Structure 1
Amino acid sequence: MEKQTIVLGSRGSKLALWQTNYVKGLLETAAPEYDYCVEVVHTKGDKILDVALSKIGDKGLFTKELEHALLDGSVDLCVHSMKDMPTVLPEGLSIQGVPVRANAADALVMRGGVGSLLELPAGARVATGSLRRTAQLKRLRPDIEPCEIRGNIDSRIRRIVEGEFDAGVLACAGIERLGIPNVIAQVISTADMIPAVGQGAIAIEVRSDDERVAALCAAITHEPTMRAVRAERIVLRALEGGCQVPMGVHARDVVDETGDVRMVMDGFVSSLDGVRFVRAHGECVPSDYETMAQGMVDDLLAGGAGPILSELR
């Protein structure tokens, strides 16, 4: 009997294809009764590379065309970087799969591959495409100059090592997934630079009524990662954050001194210059993640995030 084929939709970048083929490999192991193939779909975000994300908006920038293919049946599921996912999805679509998360931290990439953020000279030009990273860089090193950069990971790293910038800050996960961890000069602590919502996680989006594909996704889902990402996205949605807002939220499970598992969460909202910076922290038993996330929203607003967000919009 001929196997049925499941079609995975993917962006065409090297990192996107790595992630999609990683998911394909997980599915092949979990459900070998199907065949799997990858269909590349080019998104708006792949075509506009000369404008800052904060200027062109982020709602569906890297997902919209893939979602059209999912809705019209051209593909059976879409593989995304979780941090690209809007908090409100098109009607009829849902995130049903989240494999285990990679390193959520940010990395410093420098010419020569040696050094740290603290060792950068005053006035150093540090490349980043993120307002979140820019605001935190300005707090950590107000004497350096964050510079806008767009493009795929390969091109960003090349521009840094060729000397266009003194350093750059990129996601650890992308660098490690592409097999080039040697370019990382420093893994920046998540205590010093809170990651973006969903950073390091992969989202598998499906049609909400496709029970067959949803079951396949459930088989390869890492529940602690799913919970953490859901908690982060509750905060993101409540505060209407995105590429135009310097904010970060990072949730993860930790084992406390008694051996019990607890979920820990840190978040911030900042002005563009990093001067006004509101930070919050939460802890809970993992099953209470929704309550903890809403408590973080309340704490950030109580700390002054509301006026900052209003001004940014």
Structure 2
Amino acid sequence: MGRQITIGTRGSQLALWQANWVKSALEEKFSDLSVELLIIKTKGDKILDVPLAKVGGKGLFVKEIEEALLDGRIDLAVHSMKDMPADIPEGLCIGAIPERENPRDALVSRHNLPLAELPRGARVGTSSLRRSAQLKSVRPDIEIVSLRGNLGTRLKKLETEDLDAIILAAAGLRRMGFEDRITECLDETVMLPAVGQGALCIESRENDPEIGPLMAALNHGETRTVVLGERAFLNRLEGGCQVPIACHGELSADGGFALTGLVASLDGMTVIRERLSGPAAECERIGVALAEQLLAQGAEEILESLKETDENNNR
């Protein structure tokens, strides 16, 4: 008799692609394993007519799936790593991080114009405060238009809502076969990615003897090192999904690790950015140290003002 496990996932096309990728990878590596998917609707999926920042940022796309993991309805959860809050509920852990896809942000332009050539006052769609703050920093003339919905919906809105361009994660476009829609992969000097962007998070219960070997088989050591460094940076800043925080790490051939981090004001007028490097084995220490540098340079005041705004919006 073969083993059977259940993966919890959101129901969007991209989420299902990711969950099915994990299912196929597991069934290929473990011939006695049968994997089924359970679609779970999250708060972020239910509220589509309000900007994410006004809904409340932490755990919007993961909380209900994590509850199913804790109560045993599912054995694994597959998330986009960039949707994962800094804090993970007690009893759960990041079981595996497979090899990362392209982490950069992509501009999809209606007339195939790169960011630098968009007309003055161009309308650009994004639901991310991180993206909009960095856009305003390099192109203060641009009008930011709130953009919600799944990948297909956002691509349609480029036409139907009279937008000049939209910004999406390159990883999602590549995974869904829309790579040909990318006008420009934005350089990290212009648009630093979200923590964990392009990586998957396979979440599991801690110390589960049945699941542990499955996670070990899917984990990609180099990606895990980089992402854990980025998440240590996020955790020190106590950042949720909807805060203008960006971070990206890179490994070098000689065992080094370099991390670039950024905190920006909502209007893009203040951007605090630093880079720190050290041994890859100290990735999490480097993440915390980089966050401390930014806090000392004014990021603390930016984050406190955002927290006050968030509390006022939720009263």
TM-score normalised by L of structure 2 = 0.95
Corresponding position: 1:87 with 2:81: no
Tell me how far apart the structure 1 counterparts of residues 69 and 289 of structure 2 sit (CA, whole Å). Answer: 35
2:265 to 233, 250, 271: 271
Task: State the superposition RMSD in angstroms.
Answer: 1.2
**What amino acid does structure 2 have at the position aligned with 1:173?**
A
State the alpha-carbon separation in 2 of the partners of residues 68 and 307 from structure 1.
Answer: 34
2:86, 2:239 within 8 Å by CA — same for their partners in 1? no
Q: What pairs with 1:1-313 in structure 2 (closer than 5 Å)?
A: 2-112=1-111, 114-162=112-160, 164-255=162-253, 260-313=254-307
CA contact (8 A) 1:10 1:39 kept: yes
Identical positions, percent: 47
Tell me the CA shift for residue 209 of structure 1. Answer: 3.0
AA matched with 2:293: D
Greater mean alpha carbon deviation, residues 85-94 or residues 175-184 = 85-94
Letter in 2 for 1:129: S
Give, in whole Å, the separation in 1 of the partners of 2:187 and 2:220.
23
Asked if 2 retains the 8 angstrom alpha-carbon contact of 1:30 and 1:220, the reply is: no
Q: CA deviation at 1:163?
A: 5.2
The CA deviation at 1:108 is 0.3
Please give the per-residue CA displacement for 1:268-303, whole angstroms capped at 9, x wherever unaligned.
101111111110101122111122112201210121
SS at match of 2:210: helix
Q: Which amino acid aligns with 1:34?
A: L
C-alpha contact 1:97 1:214 (8 A) present in aligned 2: no
Runs of 4+ off more than 2 Å = 161-164
Give yes or no for contact 2:58–2:242 (8 Å, CA) kept in 1.
Answer: no
Check whether the contact 1:267–1:281 (CA below 8 A) recurs between aligned residues. Answer: yes
Secondary structure of 1:248's match?
Answer: strand
- 2:209 & 2:82 partners in 1: Cα distance? 25
Runs of 5+ consecutive residues of structure 2 not aligned to the other structure: 308-315
How far 1:201 sits from its partner (Å)?
0.6
- Please tell me the residue identity of whatever aligns with 1:74: R
Structure 1 gap ranges (5+): none
CA contact (8 A) 1:111 1:162 kept: no
Does structure 2 conserve the Cα–Cα contact (< 8 Å) formed by 1:224 and 1:252?
A: no
Separation (CA, whole Å) in 1 of partners of 2:175 and 2:64: 24
Q: Deviation per CA, 1:23-73: give whole Å up to 9, x if none.
A: 111111222221111111111111111111111112221111111211121
**Residue pair 1:96, 1:217 contacting (<8 A) in 2 also:** yes
Secondary structure of the residue that 2:183 maps to in structure 1? strand
Greater shift, 218-227 or 119-128, is seen at: 218-227
Counterpart of 2:43, as a letter, is K
CA deviations on 1:237-275 (whole Å, 9 max, x unpaired) are: 1111123321101112133xxxx2321211110111111
The alignment partner of 2:235 has SS state of: helix
Q: Distance in 1 between matches of 2:155 and 2:298?
A: 36
One-letter amino acid matched to 1:189:
D
Contact 1:264 1:282 in 2 (8 A): yes
Greater alpha carbon shift after TM alignment, 228-237 vs 120-129? 228-237
Paired with 2:245 and 2:284, the residues of 1 have a C-alpha distance of 19
TM-score computed with the length of structure 1 as normaliser: 0.95
Give the length in aligned residue pairs.
Answer: 307
What is the SS of the residue equivalent to 2:108? Answer: strand
Q: Distance in 1 between matches of 2:101 and 2:163?
A: 27
Give the Cα separation in 2 of the matches to 1:139 and 1:60.
Answer: 27
Q: Shift of residue 218 of structure 1?
A: 1.2
